[in-house]
Chains A and B, each alone.
Chain A
Amino acid sequence: MLQVRHVWKEYKIDNDVIFTALRDVSVTIEKGEFTAITGPSGSGKSTLMHIIGLLDKPTRGEIYINGKNSADLNDDQLSTLRSDFVGFVFQQFNLINKLTVLENVLLPTIYARKPLPYNPNEKALYLLERFGLKGKEKSYPNKISGGQQQRVAIARALIMDPDLVLADEPTGNLDTKTGNEIMKLLKELNARDKRTIVIVTHEPDIAAQARRVIKIRDGEVELR
């Protein structure tokens, strides 16, 4: 479903100093997987996540999405893929505080370029209810707890029915108990709903809960 082939990411720090964040990384994500990308901070795992999520472009190498090379796509086409191929969950939740919980969940649908085969409003209400957020639809994100905010973010990631849910340190801003609840939810989405999930985490405990673990160190995939 998604193939990362020989990807390099280099940043020019100074005129002659080049920092290599990713070094010849190749990763394949198959449909239905629950994969954790893990590694110490500065290992390049976040860079890899941004590249997989099409927020950033590699310096060299290719990303194939359902067999299509992302390098051939223009900015609008990449935006379309971010709209319907990926759903993001962030460490900082990244909800928009001036929109209500329900509006935050619906936000990706207003940027949708294709007609949705379901009623977005009904689907949003269903997801919120399923995630234990019934009654919070009209609340604003800064008025609910961190665990609730992250569940809103997960509902937002699912509203477009994406092929891939990409979670960047989804438990990083939460206490252990709440973090475990979020992990439970993600695992359930994988097991029951057959969602493809990739999480990025530096915590070995969290990574251990995934069915597959990709370790990154110094910009390279660590071979077991």
Chain B
Amino acid sequence: MSYFLFILKGAFHDFSRNKLRTFLTSLGIMIGVLSVILLIAIGLGLRKYIENQFQSLGTDFLYVVPGGTTSGRDSNIRFDERDLQRLRRIEGVEAVLPLAQTVTVVEFGGKSYKGFSIVQTSDEYLSARNITVEYGKGFTRQDLEKHAKVAVIGARVAEEVFGAPVNAVGQTITVQKQRLTVVGVAEQIGGGGLGGPPFDSFIYIPYKTGFAFANPERKFQGFNIKVTNSEQLSVTRRRVRSELEKRYDPEEVDVLEQTDILNTINSIFGALNIVLVAIAAISLIVGGIGIMNIMYVTVSERIREIGIRRALGARKFDILAQFLIESTILSLLGGVLGILLAFLITLGIQPFFPAYIDAISVVVALGVSSAIGIIFGVFPAKKAADLSPMEAIRYE
């Protein structure tokens, strides 16, 4: 017990005599641990953010897309109204929302606005997706059947084109040379980018209206299917699959759940995060080399002390342990500082981004910094232990 006390006292005496040197040496490890923990925290936050966005899209949806969307082997098939009718008849299906989407420019008042998508779908889309029409109203089944030239626009479209959503209802915009009357403005949803579809930038029109100008081939890129009971999701999924396979090869079409899409996105970002963390880990190695360097200096400053200890009966192992404990404390000090700083920074960014530090990364960071202290301390400590007692004690 007092053995460790004596070693610790010696170590801390040396640290306090060389405060700046100790701090600078730990700094290398601190920066390494800080960057690794922060990147993990941001990666975890990103995952949580994406999950939250996908949760808000609803767990009672199936997505019918051309095959290979998630595996990278794109099939070129497009769906049509016949598929729409067949899918609607499946048991457990509440609504089938056809989707044909193209990027478009919006013209209004002699100006054009970029960065929006025209979404050709059915009248059920907004209600099935739980999107409220804040101003005006949505388009109806009659609008759809009569190929009415109407549109519901997303909050961002209204904001950019008309300045304020209130001004939008009743105005006429031109999209791909087709004039459309704005009948409603949807509420602000958020999302976009990693957080799912950019609903606020959508211009929703009846798909039959779209057949006349935006989609002359009368094809859909896919369907969103709302199921009656989310607990029956996989059962309904199998029914949808077998219905589609009557017409298409199994590889030509995919029926996805929320979790499939989420897993794909997560695996992409997970891989990216691992690469970033690995790059940050290089700085830990650099920090370790800094420790090794200082430990060599420490050993050569204390050759005489080592000789005295050997003359008093210390074994090689005692000297080895002494210097290993010192390098480990040095490294662990940097690790603890890095974790504390990472906590502070994470607290600082949490209002903007759900980054968080999990217990595992703290434990791993402490383990890794101790391991670095031992690995990079072993050569200097071995040098100290292998000194000849006689030469060490006569060293001036």
The distance in angstroms between the C-alpha atoms of A90 and B393, with both chains bound, is 10
Instruction: Tell whether A83 pairs with B390 under 8 Å between CB atoms, given A110-B2, A111-B318.
Output: no
Question: Does A6 make an interface contact (CB < 8 A)?
Answer: no
Question: Does B6 make an interface contact (CB < 8 A)?
Answer: yes
CB distance from A131 to the nearest CB of B (A): 18
Q: Is the CB of A79 within 8 A of B315?
A: yes
The distance in angstroms between the C-alpha atoms of A82 and B6, with both chains bound, is 19
Contact of B309 among A53, A76, A84, A111 (CB under 8 A): A111
User: Looking across the interface, which residue of chain A has its beta carbon closest to that of B3?
Assistant: A110
CB distance from A217 to the nearest CB of B (A): 22
- Between A and B, 30 residue pairs with Cβ closer than 8 Å are A53-B311, A55-B310, A55-B393, A56-B389, A56-B390, A75-B315, A75-B316, A76-B315, A79-B314, A79-B316, A80-B315, A82-B310, A82-B389, A90-B393, A94-B308, A96-B10, A96-B308, A96-B309, A98-B9, A98-B14, A98-B17, A99-B6, A99-B9, A103-B6, A108-B313, A110-B2, A110-B6, A111-B312, A111-B315, A156-B312
The distance in angstroms between the C-alpha atoms of A98 and B13, with both chains bound, is 7
CB distance from A88 to the nearest CB of B (A): 5
A24-60 vs B: 1/0 string, CB under 8 Å? 0000000000000000000000000010010110000
CB distance from A13 to the nearest CB of B (A): 16
User: Looking across the interface, which residue of chain B has its beta carbon closest to that of A112?
Assistant: B313
Q: Collect the chain B residues with CB atoms within 8 Å of residue A106's CB.
A: 2
Question: Does A160 make an interface contact (CB < 8 A)?
Answer: yes
Q: Collect the chain B residues with CB atoms within 8 Å of residue A112's CB.
A: 313
Q: Collect the chain A residues with CB atoms within 8 Å of residue B318's CB.
A: 111
Number of B residues, CB within 8 Å of A: 26
Binding site for A on B (CB under 8 A): 2-3, 6, 9-10, 13-14, 17, 304-305, 307-318, 388-390, 393
Q: Is the CB of B305 within 8 A of A96?
A: yes
Instruction: Tell whether A94 pairs with B304 under 8 Å between CB atoms, given A50-B390, A110-B2.
Output: yes
The distance in angstroms between the C-alpha atoms of A95 and B388, with both chains bound, is 19
Extra pairs beyond A79-B315, A90-B393 (5, CB < 8 Å): A56-B390, A79-B316, A98-B9, A107-B6, A110-B6
Q: Is the CB of B14 within 8 A of A160?
A: no
Q: Is the CB of B312 within 8 A of A82?
A: yes
The distance in angstroms between the C-alpha atoms of A202 and B181, with both chains bound, is 115
Q: Is the CB of B316 within 8 A of A111?
A: no
Q: Is the CB of B313 within 8 A of A111?
A: yes
Q: Is the CB of A99 within 8 A of B10?
A: yes
Which of B9, B10, B309, B315 has the largest number of chain A CB atoms within 10 A?
A: B315
